[in-house]
């Protein structure tokens, strides 16, 4: 029997990934509970690929992740992307 939802693992216990800044090529660390990070070299915003998450379909996601984290991630996912 599961004690925790397996769909929220990378949100509840974040892991880092590295992405290249599209502006300067610097490696930027983005955590699995974040959708974007700022490049420390040039200040550009670097986005992580939007991987489907439990917040997209699970009715218990708000309770499971907590109100603040749920609202932050849900709000970021719903913003229109602006490449500039």
The whole-number average pLDDT for the span 34-52 is 88
The residue-averaged pLDDT of 9-18 equals 79
pLDDT at residue 30 tops 60: yes
Mean pLDDT of the chain: 79
Beta bridge pairs of residue 17: 30
**Contact call for residues 59 and 51 (beta carbons, < 8 A):** no
Q: Cα 67 vs. chain centroid, distance in angstroms?
A: 15
DSSP structure string for 16-80:
EEEEE-TTT--EEEEETT-SEEE-TTT--EEE------GGGT-TTHHHHH-HHHHHHHHHHHHSP
pLDDT digits over 56-76, tens only?
Answer: 788 888 888 788 887 877 775
Query: So what's the pLDDT on residue 55?
Result: 78
Whether 27 shows a pLDDT value over 70: the answer reads yes
**pTM exceeding 0.75:** no
Q: Is the dihedral of CA 58, 8, 10, 84 positive or negative?
A: positive
């Amino acid at each position: 029997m599961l004690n925790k939802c397996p769909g929220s693992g990378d949100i509840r216990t974040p892991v880092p990934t590295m992405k290249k800044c599209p502006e300067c090529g610097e490696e930027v660390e983005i955590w699995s509970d974040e959708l974007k990070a700022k490049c420390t070299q040039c200040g550009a915003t670097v986005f992580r690929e939007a991987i489907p998450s439990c917040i997209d379909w699970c009715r218990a996601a708000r309770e499971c992740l907590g109100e603040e984290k749920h609202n932050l991630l849900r709000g970021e996912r719903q913003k229109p992307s602006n490449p500039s």
